[in-house]
Structure 1
Amino acid sequence: MGENTQDWTKPAAMAIPKEGYFEEVRGRYGPVFPRTPACYGFSIIAKVKEGREEVVRAYGKTIEETIKASPEALAPLRLHYLRWNLFDVGSGLHFQYMGIFDTDFDKYTEDAVALFSATGVTTVFTNLEGFPEDWETNTEAFINFVRDHQQPSFLEYGEYPYVTADEIKKALRLKAAFSTMLDQMQ
Protein backbone atom coordinates (compact mmCIF):
# COMPACT_ATOMS: atom_id res chain seq x y z
CA MET A 1 0.00 0.00 0.00
CA GLY A 2 1.32 3.41 -0.93
CA GLU A 3 1.35 6.71 0.88
CA ASN A 4 -1.75 8.00 -0.92
CA THR A 5 -4.17 5.20 -0.09
CA GLN A 6 -6.91 7.72 0.71
CA ASP A 7 -6.37 10.09 -2.26
CA TRP A 8 -9.41 9.62 -4.50
CA THR A 9 -7.79 11.55 -7.36
CA LYS A 10 -5.21 8.85 -8.01
CA PRO A 11 -6.36 5.41 -9.17
CA ALA A 12 -5.09 2.69 -6.86
CA ALA A 13 -4.66 -1.06 -6.89
CA MET A 14 -4.04 -3.44 -4.02
CA ALA A 15 -2.71 -6.98 -4.32
CA ILE A 16 -4.14 -9.03 -1.47
CA PRO A 17 -2.58 -12.16 0.07
CA LYS A 18 -4.25 -15.54 -0.44
CA GLU A 19 -5.81 -15.38 3.06
CA GLY A 20 -7.68 -12.19 2.16
CA TYR A 21 -5.89 -9.98 4.69
CA PHE A 22 -2.40 -8.65 5.38
CA GLU A 23 -2.31 -9.17 9.12
CA GLU A 24 -4.75 -11.32 11.04
CA VAL A 25 -6.82 -9.02 13.20
CA ARG A 26 -9.76 -10.80 14.76
CA GLY A 27 -13.20 -9.30 14.38
CA ARG A 28 -16.45 -10.46 15.93
CA TYR A 29 -16.68 -13.57 13.76
CA GLY A 30 -13.24 -14.05 12.24
CA PRO A 31 -10.44 -12.15 10.54
CA VAL A 32 -11.10 -8.56 9.52
CA PHE A 33 -10.74 -8.12 5.78
CA PRO A 34 -9.07 -4.87 4.68
CA ARG A 35 -10.66 -1.83 3.13
CA THR A 36 -9.28 -1.70 -0.39
CA PRO A 37 -9.36 0.89 -3.19
CA ALA A 38 -12.73 -0.70 -4.08
CA CYS A 39 -13.91 -0.27 -0.44
CA TYR A 40 -15.12 -3.43 1.33
CA GLY A 41 -16.67 -6.40 -0.37
CA PHE A 42 -16.99 -10.10 -0.75
CA SER A 43 -17.42 -12.83 -3.31
CA ILE A 44 -19.45 -15.71 -1.98
CA ILE A 45 -19.60 -18.88 -4.04
CA ALA A 46 -21.85 -21.78 -3.06
CA LYS A 47 -23.59 -24.67 -4.75
CA VAL A 48 -27.27 -24.17 -5.56
CA LYS A 49 -29.71 -26.75 -4.21
CA GLU A 50 -30.96 -29.13 -6.88
CA GLY A 51 -33.89 -27.67 -8.84
CA ARG A 52 -33.56 -24.13 -7.44
CA GLU A 53 -32.09 -22.28 -10.45
CA GLU A 54 -35.38 -20.64 -11.45
CA VAL A 55 -36.10 -19.67 -7.83
CA VAL A 56 -32.69 -17.97 -7.61
CA ARG A 57 -33.27 -16.16 -10.91
CA ALA A 58 -36.75 -15.10 -9.77
CA TYR A 59 -35.23 -13.69 -6.59
CA GLY A 60 -33.19 -11.33 -8.77
CA LYS A 61 -36.49 -10.05 -10.20
CA THR A 62 -37.82 -9.69 -6.64
CA ILE A 63 -34.88 -7.43 -5.74
CA GLU A 64 -35.44 -5.40 -8.93
CA GLU A 65 -39.12 -4.89 -8.08
CA THR A 66 -38.32 -4.07 -4.45
CA ILE A 67 -35.92 -1.32 -5.53
CA LYS A 68 -38.43 0.06 -8.06
CA ALA A 69 -41.04 0.30 -5.32
CA SER A 70 -38.67 1.48 -2.59
CA PRO A 71 -35.34 2.81 -3.92
CA GLU A 72 -33.87 3.04 -0.41
CA ALA A 73 -34.77 -0.54 0.56
CA LEU A 74 -31.15 -1.71 0.63
CA ALA A 75 -29.73 1.58 1.99
CA PRO A 76 -28.86 0.07 5.42
CA LEU A 77 -26.31 -2.15 3.64
CA ARG A 78 -24.39 0.88 2.31
CA LEU A 79 -23.88 -0.85 -1.02
CA HIS A 80 -22.05 0.38 -4.07
CA TYR A 81 -22.83 -2.61 -6.26
CA LEU A 82 -24.17 -6.14 -6.28
CA ARG A 83 -23.48 -8.67 -8.99
CA TRP A 84 -24.93 -12.17 -9.00
CA ASN A 85 -23.83 -15.01 -11.28
CA LEU A 86 -24.97 -18.58 -11.82
CA PHE A 87 -22.51 -21.00 -13.39
CA ASP A 88 -21.76 -24.70 -13.64
CA VAL A 89 -18.17 -25.83 -13.22
CA GLY A 90 -18.96 -29.47 -13.88
CA SER A 91 -20.05 -30.30 -10.35
CA GLY A 92 -23.45 -28.63 -10.45
CA LEU A 93 -24.87 -25.14 -10.52
CA HIS A 94 -23.11 -22.55 -8.35
CA PHE A 95 -24.15 -19.06 -7.27
CA GLN A 96 -21.73 -16.18 -6.89
CA TYR A 97 -22.71 -13.14 -4.84
CA MET A 98 -20.33 -10.23 -5.33
CA GLY A 99 -20.94 -7.12 -3.28
CA ILE A 100 -19.01 -3.89 -2.81
CA PHE A 101 -20.03 -1.84 0.22
CA ASP A 102 -18.85 0.70 2.81
CA THR A 103 -18.97 -1.31 6.03
CA ASP A 104 -16.81 -4.17 7.20
CA PHE A 105 -17.65 -7.76 6.31
CA ASP A 106 -19.32 -8.71 9.60
CA LYS A 107 -21.35 -5.49 9.91
CA TYR A 108 -22.65 -5.89 6.36
CA THR A 109 -23.80 -9.42 7.12
CA GLU A 110 -25.35 -8.43 10.48
CA ASP A 111 -27.15 -5.55 8.76
CA ALA A 112 -28.41 -7.91 6.04
CA VAL A 113 -29.90 -10.29 8.62
CA ALA A 114 -31.51 -7.34 10.43
CA LEU A 115 -32.90 -6.01 7.14
CA PHE A 116 -34.36 -9.38 6.18
CA SER A 117 -35.88 -9.76 9.65
CA ALA A 118 -37.36 -6.24 9.64
CA THR A 119 -38.89 -6.56 6.17
CA GLY A 120 -39.95 -10.19 6.34
CA VAL A 121 -38.05 -10.78 3.11
CA THR A 122 -36.04 -13.95 2.88
CA THR A 123 -32.53 -14.25 1.46
CA VAL A 124 -31.50 -15.86 -1.81
CA PHE A 125 -29.04 -17.89 0.26
CA THR A 126 -31.88 -20.18 1.41
CA ASN A 127 -31.48 -21.79 -2.03
CA LEU A 128 -27.86 -22.72 -1.39
CA GLU A 129 -26.53 -26.00 -0.04
CA GLY A 130 -25.46 -25.83 3.59
CA PHE A 131 -27.20 -22.55 4.39
CA PRO A 132 -28.45 -22.67 8.01
CA GLU A 133 -32.18 -23.24 8.42
CA ASP A 134 -32.20 -21.03 11.54
CA TRP A 135 -30.51 -18.05 9.84
CA GLU A 136 -33.22 -15.60 10.92
CA THR A 137 -32.50 -16.14 14.61
CA ASN A 138 -28.89 -17.28 14.37
CA THR A 139 -26.87 -14.39 12.94
CA GLU A 140 -23.63 -16.15 13.80
CA ALA A 141 -24.57 -19.19 11.68
CA PHE A 142 -25.46 -16.88 8.77
CA ILE A 143 -22.12 -15.08 9.08
CA ASN A 144 -20.22 -18.37 9.40
CA PHE A 145 -21.85 -19.59 6.17
CA VAL A 146 -20.86 -16.38 4.38
CA ARG A 147 -17.30 -16.55 5.72
CA ASP A 148 -16.99 -20.24 4.84
CA HIS A 149 -18.01 -19.50 1.25
CA GLN A 150 -16.05 -16.26 0.85
CA GLN A 151 -13.47 -16.37 -1.93
CA PRO A 152 -11.04 -13.52 -1.22
CA SER A 153 -9.93 -11.49 -4.20
CA PHE A 154 -6.22 -11.16 -4.83
CA LEU A 155 -6.43 -7.79 -6.60
CA GLU A 156 -8.77 -4.87 -6.18
CA TYR A 157 -8.65 -1.64 -8.15
CA GLY A 158 -10.41 1.68 -7.77
CA GLU A 159 -10.48 4.42 -10.40
CA TYR A 160 -11.62 6.70 -7.56
CA PRO A 161 -10.25 4.72 -4.61
CA TYR A 162 -11.67 4.62 -1.09
CA VAL A 163 -14.67 6.81 -1.97
CA THR A 164 -17.88 5.86 -0.17
CA ALA A 165 -21.27 5.60 -1.85
CA ASP A 166 -22.45 8.57 0.26
CA GLU A 167 -19.52 10.67 -0.99
CA ILE A 168 -20.33 9.75 -4.59
CA LYS A 169 -24.00 10.67 -4.11
CA LYS A 170 -23.05 14.01 -2.50
CA ALA A 171 -20.72 14.82 -5.41
CA LEU A 172 -23.45 13.99 -7.92
CA ARG A 173 -25.99 16.14 -6.02
CA LEU A 174 -23.48 19.00 -6.02
CA LYS A 175 -22.90 18.55 -9.76
CA ALA A 176 -26.66 18.65 -10.38
CA ALA A 177 -27.03 21.78 -8.23
CA PHE A 178 -24.21 23.53 -10.10
CA SER A 179 -25.76 22.52 -13.41
CA THR A 180 -29.12 23.94 -12.34
CA MET A 181 -27.44 27.13 -11.11
CA LEU A 182 -25.56 27.57 -14.38
CA ASP A 183 -28.75 26.94 -16.37
CA GLN A 184 -30.46 29.72 -14.36
CA MET A 185 -27.65 32.15 -15.20
CA GLN A 186 -28.21 31.85 -18.96
Structure 2
Amino acid sequence: MEIRPQAVVIPKETDHLEQGKYGPIFPKTPACYGFTIIAKVKPGRADTIRNYGNTLAKALEADPQFLAPLKLHYLRWVLFDDDTRFMYQGIFDTDFDKYTEDAIALFTQAGLNTAFENLEGFPEDWKTNPEAFITFVREHHCPSFIEYGEYPYFTADEIKKALKIKSSLSEMLDQLQ
Protein backbone atom coordinates (compact mmCIF):
# COMPACT_ATOMS: atom_id res chain seq x y z
CA MET A 1 0.00 0.00 0.00
CA GLU A 2 1.48 3.30 -1.07
CA ILE A 3 0.76 6.30 1.13
CA ARG A 4 0.76 9.47 -0.92
CA PRO A 5 0.76 12.90 0.71
CA GLN A 6 -2.27 14.98 -0.18
CA ALA A 7 -3.58 18.51 0.14
CA VAL A 8 -7.14 19.81 -0.01
CA VAL A 9 -8.23 23.39 -0.60
CA ILE A 10 -11.08 24.42 1.69
CA PRO A 11 -13.62 26.86 0.24
CA LYS A 12 -14.04 30.28 1.81
CA GLU A 13 -17.83 30.10 1.53
CA THR A 14 -19.43 27.47 3.74
CA ASP A 15 -23.09 27.86 2.73
CA HIS A 16 -22.97 24.69 0.62
CA LEU A 17 -21.46 22.54 3.37
CA GLU A 18 -23.55 20.01 5.26
CA GLN A 19 -25.01 21.55 8.39
CA GLY A 20 -24.44 19.89 11.74
CA LYS A 21 -26.08 20.68 15.06
CA TYR A 22 -23.94 23.78 15.48
CA GLY A 23 -23.31 25.04 11.96
CA PRO A 24 -21.38 23.95 8.89
CA ILE A 25 -19.42 20.73 9.05
CA PHE A 26 -16.08 21.43 7.47
CA PRO A 27 -14.91 18.54 5.32
CA LYS A 28 -12.46 15.97 6.57
CA THR A 29 -9.09 16.81 5.07
CA PRO A 30 -5.83 14.88 4.75
CA ALA A 31 -4.99 16.37 8.18
CA CYS A 32 -8.35 15.10 9.55
CA TYR A 33 -10.62 17.62 11.28
CA GLY A 34 -9.67 20.64 13.34
CA PHE A 35 -10.12 24.27 14.12
CA THR A 36 -8.09 27.31 14.99
CA ILE A 37 -9.38 30.10 17.18
CA ILE A 38 -7.75 33.43 17.86
CA ALA A 39 -9.12 35.55 20.69
CA LYS A 40 -8.16 38.42 22.97
CA VAL A 41 -6.80 37.50 26.39
CA LYS A 42 -8.46 39.15 29.38
CA PRO A 43 -6.00 41.73 30.78
CA GLY A 44 -3.47 40.16 33.14
CA ARG A 45 -4.52 36.56 32.35
CA ALA A 46 -1.66 35.36 30.12
CA ASP A 47 0.20 33.77 33.05
CA THR A 48 -3.01 32.04 34.09
CA ILE A 49 -3.22 30.49 30.62
CA ARG A 50 0.42 29.39 30.83
CA ASN A 51 -0.22 27.88 34.27
CA TYR A 52 -3.26 26.10 32.90
CA GLY A 53 -0.93 24.54 30.33
CA ASN A 54 1.09 23.15 33.27
CA THR A 55 -2.11 21.82 34.85
CA LEU A 56 -3.04 20.05 31.64
CA ALA A 57 0.47 18.59 31.29
CA LYS A 58 0.30 17.27 34.89
CA ALA A 59 -3.13 15.74 34.24
CA LEU A 60 -1.61 13.89 31.28
CA GLU A 61 1.35 12.74 33.37
CA ALA A 62 -1.08 11.27 35.89
CA ASP A 63 -3.30 9.78 33.19
CA PRO A 64 -1.85 9.64 29.67
CA GLN A 65 -5.32 8.72 28.37
CA PHE A 66 -6.99 11.79 29.88
CA LEU A 67 -7.58 13.47 26.51
CA ALA A 68 -8.14 10.19 24.59
CA PRO A 69 -11.91 10.75 24.18
CA LEU A 70 -11.10 13.78 22.02
CA LYS A 71 -9.28 11.66 19.40
CA LEU A 72 -6.55 14.28 19.11
CA HIS A 73 -3.58 14.34 16.82
CA TYR A 74 -2.18 17.69 17.96
CA LEU A 75 -2.94 20.72 20.08
CA ARG A 76 -1.06 23.97 19.83
CA TRP A 77 -1.50 26.95 22.12
CA VAL A 78 0.18 30.25 21.34
CA LEU A 79 0.18 33.55 23.23
CA PHE A 80 1.26 36.44 21.01
CA ASP A 81 1.12 40.23 20.54
CA ASP A 82 2.70 40.78 23.97
CA ASP A 83 0.43 38.14 25.53
CA THR A 84 -2.74 39.98 24.49
CA ARG A 85 -3.98 37.35 22.05
CA PHE A 86 -4.25 33.58 22.19
CA MET A 87 -4.35 30.99 19.42
CA TYR A 88 -5.71 27.50 19.97
CA GLN A 89 -5.24 24.98 17.21
CA GLY A 90 -6.49 21.44 17.45
CA ILE A 91 -6.37 18.59 14.92
CA PHE A 92 -8.57 15.59 15.70
CA ASP A 93 -10.48 12.68 14.17
CA THR A 94 -14.10 13.63 14.84
CA ASP A 95 -16.13 16.42 13.36
CA PHE A 96 -16.42 19.76 15.15
CA ASP A 97 -19.79 19.02 16.78
CA LYS A 98 -18.63 15.74 18.35
CA TYR A 99 -15.25 17.15 19.41
CA THR A 100 -16.93 20.08 21.16
CA GLU A 101 -19.52 17.95 22.93
CA ASP A 102 -16.83 15.47 24.01
CA ALA A 103 -14.57 18.29 25.27
CA ILE A 104 -17.35 19.83 27.37
CA ALA A 105 -18.26 16.43 28.84
CA LEU A 106 -14.63 15.53 29.54
CA PHE A 107 -13.76 18.76 31.33
CA THR A 108 -17.05 18.83 33.23
CA GLN A 109 -16.59 15.23 34.46
CA ALA A 110 -12.98 15.93 35.44
CA GLY A 111 -14.03 19.07 37.31
CA LEU A 112 -11.57 21.14 35.30
CA ASN A 113 -12.06 24.53 33.85
CA THR A 114 -10.77 25.56 30.45
CA ALA A 115 -8.05 28.00 29.48
CA PHE A 116 -10.70 29.64 27.32
CA GLU A 117 -12.22 31.16 30.48
CA ASN A 118 -9.33 33.63 30.32
CA LEU A 119 -10.43 34.93 26.93
CA GLU A 120 -12.62 37.96 26.37
CA GLY A 121 -16.22 37.03 25.58
CA PHE A 122 -15.98 33.40 26.62
CA PRO A 123 -19.27 32.31 28.25
CA GLU A 124 -19.10 31.68 31.98
CA ASP A 125 -21.83 29.04 31.67
CA TRP A 126 -19.96 26.98 29.05
CA LYS A 127 -20.32 23.71 30.99
CA THR A 128 -24.10 23.86 30.94
CA ASN A 129 -24.54 25.87 27.75
CA PRO A 130 -22.76 24.10 24.88
CA GLU A 131 -24.43 26.41 22.36
CA ALA A 132 -22.70 29.44 23.93
CA PHE A 133 -19.37 27.60 23.92
CA ILE A 134 -19.83 26.71 20.26
CA THR A 135 -20.91 30.23 19.35
CA PHE A 136 -17.70 31.57 20.91
CA VAL A 137 -15.55 29.07 19.02
CA ARG A 138 -17.34 29.71 15.71
CA GLU A 139 -17.04 33.49 16.13
CA HIS A 140 -13.30 33.20 16.78
CA HIS A 141 -12.57 30.42 14.29
CA CYS A 142 -10.03 31.20 11.57
CA PRO A 143 -10.64 28.51 8.97
CA SER A 144 -7.83 26.99 6.98
CA PHE A 145 -7.85 27.45 3.24
CA ILE A 146 -5.55 24.51 2.56
CA GLU A 147 -4.62 21.48 4.62
CA TYR A 148 -1.90 18.95 3.92
CA GLY A 149 -1.30 15.49 5.28
CA GLU A 150 1.90 13.49 4.91
CA TYR A 151 -0.12 10.43 5.96
CA PRO A 152 -3.54 11.56 4.70
CA TYR A 153 -6.81 10.60 6.37
CA PHE A 154 -5.26 8.23 8.91
CA THR A 155 -6.79 8.41 12.37
CA ALA A 156 -4.78 8.81 15.55
CA ASP A 157 -5.82 5.28 16.55
CA GLU A 158 -4.55 3.86 13.24
CA ILE A 159 -1.23 5.65 13.67
CA LYS A 160 -0.85 4.41 17.26
CA LYS A 161 -1.69 0.87 16.13
CA ALA A 162 0.93 1.02 13.36
CA LEU A 163 3.54 2.30 15.83
CA LYS A 164 2.66 -0.48 18.27
CA ILE A 165 3.07 -3.09 15.52
CA LYS A 166 6.39 -1.51 14.52
CA SER A 167 7.59 -1.60 18.12
CA SER A 168 6.51 -5.23 18.56
CA LEU A 169 8.18 -6.22 15.31
CA SER A 170 11.40 -4.44 16.30
CA GLU A 171 11.35 -6.18 19.69
CA MET A 172 10.77 -9.54 18.05
CA LEU A 173 13.63 -8.99 15.58
CA ASP A 174 15.93 -7.89 18.41
CA GLN A 175 15.19 -11.15 20.26
CA LEU A 176 16.09 -13.18 17.17
CA GLN A 177 19.60 -11.75 17.12
TM-score normalised according to structure 1 size: 0.91
Q: Secondary structure at the match of 2:20?
A: coil
Contact 2:7–2:147 (CA<8 Å) still a contact in 1?
yes
Contact 2:15–2:24 (CA<8 Å) still a contact in 1?
no
Question: Percent identity, aligned pairs only?
Answer: 64
Q: Secondary structure at the match of 2:134?
A: helix
Q: Which position in structure 1 is the counterpart of 2:104?
A: 113
Displacement after TM superposition at 1:139 (Å): 1.0
**Distance in 2 of aligned mates of 1:43 and 1:130:** 17
Displacement after TM superposition at 1:23 (Å): 2.9
Q: Which position in structure 1 is the counterpart of 2:116?
A: 125
Cα 1:8–1:46 change in 2 (3 A) is farther
Contact 1:25–1:32 (CA<8 Å) still a contact in 2?
yes
CA RMSD of aligned residues (A): 1.6
Q: Which amino acid aligns with 1:37?
A: P
**Distance in 1 of aligned mates of 2:125 and 2:15:** 33
Q: Does 1:29 align with 2:29?
A: no
Q: Does 1:152 align with 2:143?
A: yes
Structure 2 segments unaligned to the other structure (5+ residues): none
Displacement after TM superposition at 1:175 (Å): 0.4
Q: Which position in structure 2 is the counterpart of 1:63?
A: 56
Q: Which amino acid aligns with 2:50?
A: R
Cα 1:11–1:22 change in 2 (3 A) is farther
TM-score normalised according to structure 2 size: 0.95
Among 116, 129, 153, which residue is 1:138 paired with? 129
Q: Which position in structure 1 is the counterpart of 2:90?
A: 99
Structure 1 segments unaligned to the other structure (5+ residues): 1-6
Q: Which position in structure 2 is the counterpart of 1:3?
A: none
After the TM superposition, which parts of structure 1 deviate over 6 Å for at least 4 consecutive aligned residues? none
Among 46, 55, 63, which residue is 1:53 paired with? 46
Paired residues in the alignment total: 177
